[in-house]
Amino acid sequence: MDNIKKSIENLKTKNSRIYFLTQDVKGTAKASVAYIYDMALSLVDDGFNAIILHEKNDYEGVDSWLGGDYMNRIPHKSIEGQNLEISPEDFIVIPEIYGFIMEQLKNLPCGKIVLTQMPTYMLETLQPGQTWSQFGFHKCITTSERGKEYIGSIMKNSSIDVIEPYISIGFRKHNKPPKTVITIHSREHSDTVNIIKSFYLKYPQYRWFTFRDMVGMSRGDFSDAFNESFLSVWVDDDSGFGTFPLESMVSGVPVIAKIPDLVPDWMTEHNGIYLKEKNLIIDQIAIFIQNWLEDNINNELYENMEETVSKFTDYSVFDSKVVELFSGYLNSRMKAFEEQIYKTEKNEE
């Protein structure tokens, strides 16, 4: 009974630990990891005991591409060689790519949450017929309403909440005239190479336009690249949200993209050029270049871009959603413990 009361007190005072299991991307910028750090920092700033949990002691961190502020302000803990402290009032949040370790965690007494940024990957590391709930993971956080709908159709015993990512203040519309630079980002490097080579072969008259591959850049370099470009290209069939095109829009740069398998909530026919087939991209790039050179881009496109991204650039909105959601998790667990005490005392009477 005393241990349960201690757990309740830790929940009340926000001292319960919230572990975010995080992939070591070895210095490579990754939006899914940035999203985790943004959530953890929001919680730390609001007095929660949020901790980044990584597998190995040689975790490289995110200094090189996200900034040292995240590493310095958020506590970090390694699994390797340590007895991880887990109490009933604690929580562990694991990305869907770590589905293979759910069975190892099923006997932990803490609250368990799945973070699903890429719903198409959520079954990849599970055995056929396995579900999250059988391992004690009854809650899920995802990034879009469409993602929530898709996940709910598969994982029927899960409670699913949505927190849309925040587009960093580092991405903002630039005032300088853009250069003849086309930024490009794809999940598969082969797509980037194929688009660039095919474009130059089919449209040699535009060889003086430069493509800039955005893979592996720091957040600052990302922003600088957008500030020099007049057009972005995005190919990611597996994306569950799509931060790259939104970062591009925030920077005032229109996007040509292959429509992902799970269409983002924000994607409309008015805020970009979206195609069902990858092989149509190079033709659309050429058309856009010609219109841009002739100053024939409809200003409504830029207005619609600004309207689209306005909901993702207010940090207070993101922060309040994160704090509200995790406050709810803590309160719900606290009530469960209080009910447990009540039932025990009733039985003793």
Residue 306 lies in a domain: yes
**Same domain, residue pair 53 and 116:** yes
Q: How far is 265 from 83, CA to CA, in rounded Å?
A: 41
Q: Which residues of 89-102 are buried (b: 16+ CB within 10 A; e: fewer)?
A: bbbbbbbbbbbeeb
Q: Which of 130, 154, 159 lies closest to 328 in space, CA to CA?
A: 159
Highest mean pLDDT among 19-23, 132-136, 310-314: 19-23
Higher pLDDT, 202 or 347: 202
Higher pLDDT, 115 or 4: 115
Q: How far is 283 from 198, CA to CA, in rounded Å?
A: 10
**Same domain, residue pair 139 and 259:** no
Q: Is the predicted pLDDT of residue 259 greater than 90, yes or no? A: yes
Query: What does the mean pLDDT of the chain come to?
Result: 90
Q: How far is 281 from 12, CA to CA, in rounded Å?
A: 53
Residue 133 lies in a domain: yes
Residue 145 lies in a domain: yes
Q: What is the pLDDT of residue 1?
A: 65
**Same domain, residue pair 245 and 134:** no
Q: How far is 50 from 39, CA to CA, in rounded Å?
A: 9
Taking the chain, what is the end-to-end CA distance rounded to the nearest angstrom? 15
Least confident interval from 65-69, 144-148, 254-258: 65-69
Q: What is the pLDDT of residue 328?
A: 96
Residue 173 lies in a domain: no
**For residues 278 and 191, is the Cβ–Cβ distance under 8 A?**
yes
**Same domain, residue pair 333 and 241:** no
Residue 251 lies in a domain: yes
**For residues 66 and 93, is the Cβ–Cβ distance under 8 A?**
no
Strand order in the sheet with 17-21: 76-78, 49-54, 17-21, 91-95, 111-116, 139-142, 159-162
Q: What is the pLDDT of residue 345?
A: 65
Residue 176 lies in a domain: no
- CATH number of the domain bearing residue 109: 3.40.50.2000
Domain count, the chain: 2
Residue 80 phi, psi dihedral angles, 5° rounding? -60, 125
pLDDT range class, residue 348, cuts 50, 70, 90: low
Least confident interval from 173-177, 198-202, 304-308, 324-328: 173-177
Q: What is the pLDDT of residue 83?
A: 76
**For residues 244 and 226, is the Cβ–Cβ distance under 8 A?**
no
**Same domain, residue pair 292 and 209:** yes
Q: How far is 96 from 89, CA to CA, in rounded Å?
A: 22
Tens digit of each residue's pLDDT (9 = 90 or more) over 74-100: 999 998 877 788 999 999 999 998 888
Least confident interval from 17-26, 122-131, 284-293: 122-131
227: β partners:
none
Q: What is the pLDDT of residue 172?
A: 73
Residue 172 lies in a domain: no
Q: What is the pLDDT of residue 278?
A: 93
**Same domain, residue pair 255 and 331:** no
Q: What percent of the chain has pLDDT over 90?
A: 62
Q: Is the predicted pLDDT of residue 173 greater than 80, yes or no? A: no
**Same domain, residue pair 318 and 305:** no
- Identity of the amino acid at 37: Y
Residue 171 lies in a domain: no
**Same domain, residue pair 62 and 157:** yes
| Domain extent at residue 189 | 181-312
Higher pLDDT, 158 or 220: 158
**Same domain, residue pair 160 and 20:** yes
How confident is the model over 105-126, as a mean pLDDT? 89
Q: What angle do CA 228, 214, 203 make, to 5 degrees?
A: 70
Report helix, strand or coil for 304: helix
* Number of neighbouring beta carbons within 10 Å of residue 320: 13
Q: Which of 178, 169, 92 lies closest to 136 in space, CA to CA?
A: 92
Tens digit of each residue's pLDDT (9 = 90 or more) over 237-258: 888 888 999 999 999 999 999 9
How confident is the model over 300-328, as a mean pLDDT? 94
How confident is the model over 195-218, as a mean pLDDT? 93
**Same domain, residue pair 108 and 217:** no
Tens digit of each residue's pLDDT (9 = 90 or more) over 154-170: 998 889 999 999 987 66
pLDDT range class, residue 121, cuts 50, 70, 90: confident
160: β partners:
140
**Same domain, residue pair 340 and 299:** no
**Same domain, residue pair 7 and 31:** yes
273-275 and 255-258 strand pairing: parallel
